[in-house]
Amino acid sequence: MNILILSCGTRTLLVRYFKEPDSGFDRVIGTDCSPYAPALYETDAYYLVPRMTEPDYLDTILDICRKESVNAVLPLQEDELALIASKRSLFTSIGVTPVISALSAVDLCRDKYAFYQHLILHQLPVLTSCDSFPSFLQEKEAGRMNLPVFLKPTRGCGSIGIQKVEQMELLEVLCKYADEDYMIQTLAQGEEFGADIYVDMLSHRPVSLFVKKKLRMRAGETEKSVSYQDESLFQLILNTVATLDLSGPIDMDIFQVEGTYYISEINPRFGGGYPHAHNCGICFPKLIANNLVGKENTDTIGSYEDGICMLKYTDLFIMKNK
């Protein structure tokens, strides 16, 4: 089988995982709009494509699928998730399976404040948040929020635009002159966890779950972490997943404050910290391959060792400029 990885960027390790002999895939094809995306050069074949906002982008991707006999397409970039999910039928009509959740779930997870409201609706633990400065003043008056807080774009990614705010005057000014929608979130002064989840594309049940305690973050990506097991956290994650029409690889962020877990965000895609899970024996490419040939995956939730550290570091790729 062949898989096409879209906007592969710097995800060199992920490309390597799909190329492993036991992954279930024969060829890995990659695309990006930049020739300086290092993951392109790890693939078996790569294509430089227009930006996803260009009108000929989808036609270009579909042509690549036909040319390369692609069986599955895997988007990695936030805005591209909704595009591929919304055009699922264009891919399935030519025999290509998009490895992506339902559009309803993608859209909800993309809007952080809408996702917060979803968690409240389903009575899941979440840090108190609001979507305006006047709302924050009301929450503060009611004793449900106080400074310091996190101010972040509701449709942000990679921690871009997120900032800790400790002064009321500064918060008011930032909210007044924000050039995009934002949310104000209670500052989580505790530990942060990440979960890599695989929701079987046939049974629609979570079949794999890996949790890591984050030790250090850089540019919104986990740089140092340690594998972690807690049955109560597993159950909270599973309860949360059950409220959404998710499918395939999922990334979730959780905080623990004074002994209580709080759901923060869900990204319905491979997370940047997935290499930790993979090197602890969790193989999402194989799970994807099984689903593509009509095989449901068995439940292996929690089948990894506690206390295994991941220490990510910078590498480089040298090539001649064309």
Q: What is the pLDDT along the chain (322 residues), one digit of tens a residue?
A: 999 999 999 999 999 999 999 999 999 999 999 999 999 999 999 999 999 999 999 999 999 999 999 999 999 998 899 999 999 999 999 999 999 999 999 999 999 999 999 999 999 999 999 999 999 999 999 999 999 998 988 887 766 778 889 999 999 998 888 878 899 999 888 899 999 999 999 999 999 999 999 998 776 678 899 999 999 999 999 999 999 999 999 999 999 999 999 999 999 999 999 999 999 999 999 999 999 999 999 999 989 999 999 998 888 888 888 6
In the block, tokens 């008011």 appear at 172
User: In the chain, what is the straight-line distance between the N-terminal and C-terminal CA atoms, in Å?
Assistant: 31
Residue with token string 């962020």 = 253
Phi, psi (rounded to 5 degrees) for 283: -115, 90
Q: Which two tokens stand for residue 285?
A: 């490419």
Containing domain of residue 22, as a range? 2-100
Which of 186, 204, 220 terminates a domain? The answer is 186
For helices 103-110 and 112-121, give the axis angle rounded to 10 degrees.
Answer: 110
Same domain, 203 and 307: yes
Tokens 């097991």: give the residue.
Answer: 229
Torsion of CA 6, 70, 47, 27, to 10 degrees: 100
Query: Which phi and psi angles does 52 have, rounded to 5°?
Result: -65, -15
Q: Is residue 317 part of a domain?
A: no
Confidence at residue 246, expressed as pLDDT on a 0 to 100 scale:
98
Write down the number of H helices and E strands in the chain.
Answer: 11, 15
Per-residue confidence (pLDDT) for residue 3, from 0 to 100: 98
Instruction: Please say whether the beta carbons of 28 and 8 come within 8 A.
Output: no
Helix (H, G, I), strand (E, B) or coil at 297: coil
pLDDT recorded at residue 322:
67
The residues pairing with 227 across neighbouring beta strands, listed in sequence order, are 212
- pTM of the model as a whole: 0.94
Question: Is there a single domain that holds both residue 173 and residue 208?
Answer: no
> Is residue 116 included in any domain, yes or no?
no
- Whether the ω angle into residue 148 lies within 30 degrees of 0, i.e. cis, is yes
Indicate whether 106 belongs to any domain: no
228 falls within a domain: yes
* CA separation for the pair 210, 181 (Å, rounded): 32
Amino acid found at 118: H
Does residue 196 sit in the same domain as residue 305?
Answer: yes
Q: Are both 197 and 132 inside the same structural domain? A: no
Count structural domains, the chain. 3
**Encoded tokens for 95:** 């025999």
In this structure, how many other beta carbons lie within 10 angstroms of the beta carbon of residue 78? Answer: 18
Residue 298 belongs to some domain of the structure: yes
Would you put residue 169 in left (φ > 0), alpha (ψ -120 to 50) or beta?
alpha
Q: Distance (Å, rounded) from C-alpha 50 to C-alpha 37?
A: 14
Tokens representing 149? 């807080």
CATH of the domain at 49: 3.40.50.20
Residues 139 and 61 reside in one and the same domain: no
In a domain, 13, yes or no: yes
